[in-house]
Amino acid sequence: MKVSVILGHPQKGSFNHAIAGRAVKTLRDNGHRVYFHDLYSENFNPVLPYGEISRDAVPDTVVEGHCREISDVDGIVIVHPNWWGQPPAILKGWVDRVIRPGVAYQFCEGDSGEGVPKGLLKAGTALVFNTSNTPAQREREVFGDPLESIWKSCILGLCGVSAFYRKMYGVVVTSTGAEREGWLKEVEDTVNQYFPG
């Protein structure tokens, strides 16, 4: 299978990098072809210009490459920290520019954008791994865990990805090395479950 792994975290050596690294290694060990994008290292420009909004616009070559890739893969793995209940801006901008009309979704004929679009992504499975410093119960009860609906419904579900799994690891700031090692093993087990060899 072909799988895209998209990482949005600015610090090499972060736990997010460790998660992405473990996911990439497990996928490769299982024989999959992996396209890994560390968006900060690639200096991805997240700002969607006006001229790129229309369905018929031709995006720049970097974005065009991402679009070709995301249309073609069988699976997607997203890794990022919880920043204000949202992905970091660099990843939000990747969504704005790459998950675009004609690539990831389209409206039916005669629908100017008010209806329910058809998902175009052929990827059947998406995994989202997040980290945070908020205990899970407070995240759910006080904040409503917005990342769950952002990824599951607003983005991946809308674009036709049917199998979705997400896990938020934390509290990172007070975690022990042994806890983090256990979380990485869980990432590995999850990848093995959804993308076996």
Ligand X SMILES: Cc1cc2nc3c(=O)[nH]c(=O)nc-3n(C[C@H](O)[C@H](O)[C@H](O)COP(=O)(O)O)c2cc1C
Residues in contact with ligand X by CB under 6 A are 9, 14-16, 81-85, 131-134, 172
CB of 158 to ligand X, least distance (A): 23
CA nearest neighbour of 151 among 79, 101, 44, 90: 79
CB of 159 to ligand X, least distance (A): 25
Closer Cβ to ligand X, 54 or 133, answer by number: 133
Rounded distance, CA 83 to CA 130, Å?
10
Rounded distance, CA 49 to CA 68, Å?
19
Rounded distance, CA 165 to CA 34, Å?
19
CA nearest neighbour of 197 among 56, 78, 25, 28: 28
CB of 128 to ligand X, least distance (A): 13
Closer Cβ to ligand X, 133 or 162, answer by number: 133
Classified as helix, coil or strand, 150 is: helix
Closer Cβ to ligand X, 47 or 108, answer by number: 47
Closer Cβ to ligand X, 80 or 97, answer by number: 80
CB of 40 to ligand X, least distance (A): 12
The half-sphere exposure of 192 on its side-chain side, counting CA atoms within 13 A, is 9
